[in-house]
Structure 1
């Protein structure tokens, strides 16, 4: 997903020039194409959120990132690297499944919808959401890898104290992220909010920080 933003900006400037021959488009697909413009604002907002997150919010907490990185023992960094590998693989899997649907069902005609989804996963590559990608088993055909679950539980048991020791800084960062999302109407994916336990939230918060500290 590297250099994706250049590709996104290029496509965004050219979407308005796209023309689709009505003679080869079904009425259902034609309606989908017309409704696709509702995602234009989402695309613009997600680009702005990506910019704010990567250039403004996260750099303010590089000291926290370094502190957490220095705290993780060498043998545990190997475990985090394994989780990162699974996280990246699962992210690519979800994105590929979406793009496959775009290609097969919609003939890649839903441009803004497609760009919106690419931006979602591009953003998740700079600051992770381990609950959405790894831990949420409510997603269709999704089940947490047993080895990943074991590693996550191990790391949580060993480093849960980091959430308490750095509570003020972590809370400040998350407030900024939440505020930015709210202002730009950014909706997180794969949350299963009603069924998330406090432990799920704490685990994902810690794993997000561990992944971010090493990536």
Structure 2
């Protein structure tokens, strides 16, 4: 009898614990407004997934010979320097993405799922093929912390291998044009580009550094 009563009491207490109402939290009005606007990123996500797939499955494999040719031209004495630039680039990419994710968590409590996924896709694509101008050498980018000696290293490597742009001119132009055309078709907007003020020299420098980083990975 006592055992039966004990079981009944235990069941009653347990039921009371797990049947309590879980009250719905209240978010700030600005966060609700942000949630409603978040769906606009659905189209961007779709386009960025398609571009990522095309880049990884079609464009980059198509130019694998270019990648090999560039890698073969890299001197052993410069390999470590290019690796240093590649590490600097990758660390910067991760830092910026983490800052965006932290901002989403702290300000918007991670409710903007599509916006966050869109950001992740942007920086995953920048991992697949680099954009050193956007993340490193674009001095107009807010928060750019590239040190003078790091920039000088990039300039030195560019000077040492600028001849590759001329020697592989047709193939390199075709490569970058194909990426640009794919971005245009899918309405991909590049980040941190200082649109309208990016010089031809900056474009050449960025393209070569991108190719060198890509070649050693």
Alignment of 1:77 with 2:79, yes or no, is yes
Deviation at 1:23, TM superposition (A): 4.6
Match of 1:162 among 152, 161, 164: 164
Match of 1:52 in 2: 54
Could you tell me the TM-score, scaled by structure 1's length? Answer: 0.88
Match of 1:12 in 2: none
Match of 2:134 among 129, 132, 135: 132
User: Gaps spanning 5+ residues in structure 2: where?
Assistant: 1-22
Measure, in 1, the Cα distance between the counterparts of 2:30 and 2:157. Answer: 49
Measure, in 1, the Cα distance between the counterparts of 2:177 and 2:94. Answer: 28
Measure, in 2, the Cα distance between the counterparts of 1:208 and 1:142. Answer: 18
Specify the SS of the correspondent of 2:179: helix
Match of 2:207 in 1: 205
Cα pair distance change 1:143/1:56, threshold 3 Å: same
What aligned pairs does 1:15-54 form with structure 2 within 5 A after superposition? 23-54=25-56
Contact 1:40-1:112 within 8 A present in 2 as well? yes
Match of 2:155 in 1: 153
Deviation at 1:111, TM superposition (A): 0.3
Measure, in 2, the Cα distance between the counterparts of 1:147 and 1:73. Answer: 21
CA-to-aligned-CA distance 1:18-75 (integer Å, 9 cap, x gap): xxx9751111111100110000111111111000000100101000000000000011
Match of 1:121 among 113, 117, 123: 123
List structure 1 segments (4+ residues) > 4 angstroms apart after TM superposition.
Answer: none
Match of 1:189 among 188, 191, 209: 191
Report the structure number with the largest CA radius of gyration.
Answer: 2
Could you tell me the TM-score, scaled by structure 2's length? Answer: 0.87
How many matched pairs?
A: 195
